[in-house]
A and B are shown apart, each in its own frame.
Chain A
Amino acid sequence: MSVLPPDMDAAGFAAFLEELRGAVGADWVWSGDADMFPYRDSFSPVWNTDEERHASAAVAPENVEQVSAVVRIARKHRVPLYPISTGKNFGYGGPSPNVNGSVVLDLKRMNRVLEVNNERNYCLVEPGVSYFDLQRAVDETGNKVMLDCPDPGWGSPIGNSLERGVGYTMPHFRDHFGSHCGMEVVLPDGEIMRTGMGALPGSDTWHEYPYGFGPDPAGLFAQGNFGVVTKMGFRLMPMPEYYRTGLITVPRRRDFIKLVNHVNYLSDSGLIGEVEYGSALRALMGDRDFLALITKTGGPSDAEMDAAASAAGLPSWQVELQFFGPEKATLENWNYAKDRILSDIPGAAAVDGDHFTMPATEEQLNNTTQPWQTSIKRRRSLGVPSLGAWKIVRDDGHVGFFPVLPRTGEAVFEVQRVLGDAMKEFPSLPSYFNALSTPLFWHTHTFQMVFAPSIKHDDPEHNAITHASMKKCVAVAAEHGWGDYRAAPIYQDDVSDTYSFNNHILRRFHEQLKDSIDPDGIIAPGRGGIWPRRFRA
Chain B
Amino acid sequence: MSMRTSLFIALGVSALAGSAALAQTVVRDIERPDMPGRVVFEQQCAPCHGTGLGDDGSPTLPGTAALDAKYGGDRPGALELRSDLPAPVLRVIVRRGSGAMSGFRKGELTDEQIDQIAEYIAATAAANSGG
Contacts and interface: CB of A to CB of B under 8 A. Distances in A.
B88 to A, nearest CB: 13
Contacts of A39: 105
Contacts of B106: 30, 35, 38, 60
Interface string A79-94: 0000000111010001
Contacts of A58: 105, 107
A94 B102 contact: yes
Given A366-B56, A367-B56, 8 more contacts: A35-B106, A38-B96, A87-B105, A379-B56, A386-B47, A390-B48, A394-B100, A396-B99
Contact of A38 (B48, B100, B102): B102
Interface in B79-117: 95-97, 99-100, 102-108
A474 to B, nearest CB: 24
Contacts of B100: 390, 393-397
Interface in B18-39: none
24 contacts: A37-B103, A38-B102, A40-B103, A87-B107, A88-B102, A106-B108, A108-B107, A154-B47, A366-B55, A366-B56, A367-B55, A367-B57, A377-B55, A377-B56, A379-B56, A386-B47, A387-B47, A388-B62, A390-B62, A391-B58, A391-B62, A396-B99, A396-B100, A397-B100
B74 to A, nearest CB: 22
A393 B62 contact: yes
Interface string A357-384: 0000000001110000010111100000
A95 B105 contact: yes
B43 interface: yes
Contacts of A390: 48, 62-63, 100
Contacts of A333: none
Given A34-B95, A38-B95, A132-B47, A389 B55 contact: yes
A153 interface: yes
B103 A388 contact: no
Interface in B44-59: 47-48, 53-58
A153 B47 contact: yes
B61 interface: yes
Nearest to B49: A387
A38 B105 contact: yes
A37 B61 CA distance: 26
Interface of B is mostly: loop
A116 B65 CA distance: 35
Interface centre among B47, B95, B96, B108 (most CB of A within 10 A): B108
Nearest to B53: A366
Nearest to A379: B55
B103 A106 contact: no
Interface of A: 28, 30, 34-35, 37-40, 42-43, 58, 60, 86-88, 90, 94-95, 106, 108-109, 132, 153-154, 366-368, 374, 376-379, 385-391, 393-397
A291 B24 CA distance: 33
A40 B105 CA distance: 10
B108 A368 contact: no
Contacts of B103: 37-38, 40, 42
A477 to B, nearest CB: 27
Interface of B: 43, 47-48, 53-58, 61-63, 65, 95-97, 99-100, 102-108
A366 B57 contact: yes
A367 B105 CA distance: 34
Given A94-B102, A387-B48, A391-B65, A106 B43 contact: no
A39 B58 CA distance: 31
Interface centre among B43, B55, B61, B104 (most CB of A within 10 A): B55
Contact of B55 (A88, A388, A397): A388
List the 4 closest pairs (A to B, CB-CB), nearest first. A388-B55, A38-B103, A390-B62, A60-B107
B99 to A, nearest CB: 6
Contacts of B58: 388, 391
A388 B102 contact: no
Contacts of B54: 388, 391
A462 B16 CA distance: 21
Nearest to A133: B43
Nearest to A389: B55
A87 B43 contact: no
B38 to A, nearest CB: 16
A42 B43 CA distance: 22
Contacts of B62: 387-391, 393
Nearest to B94: A38
Contacts of A37: 95-96, 103
A397 B99 CA distance: 8
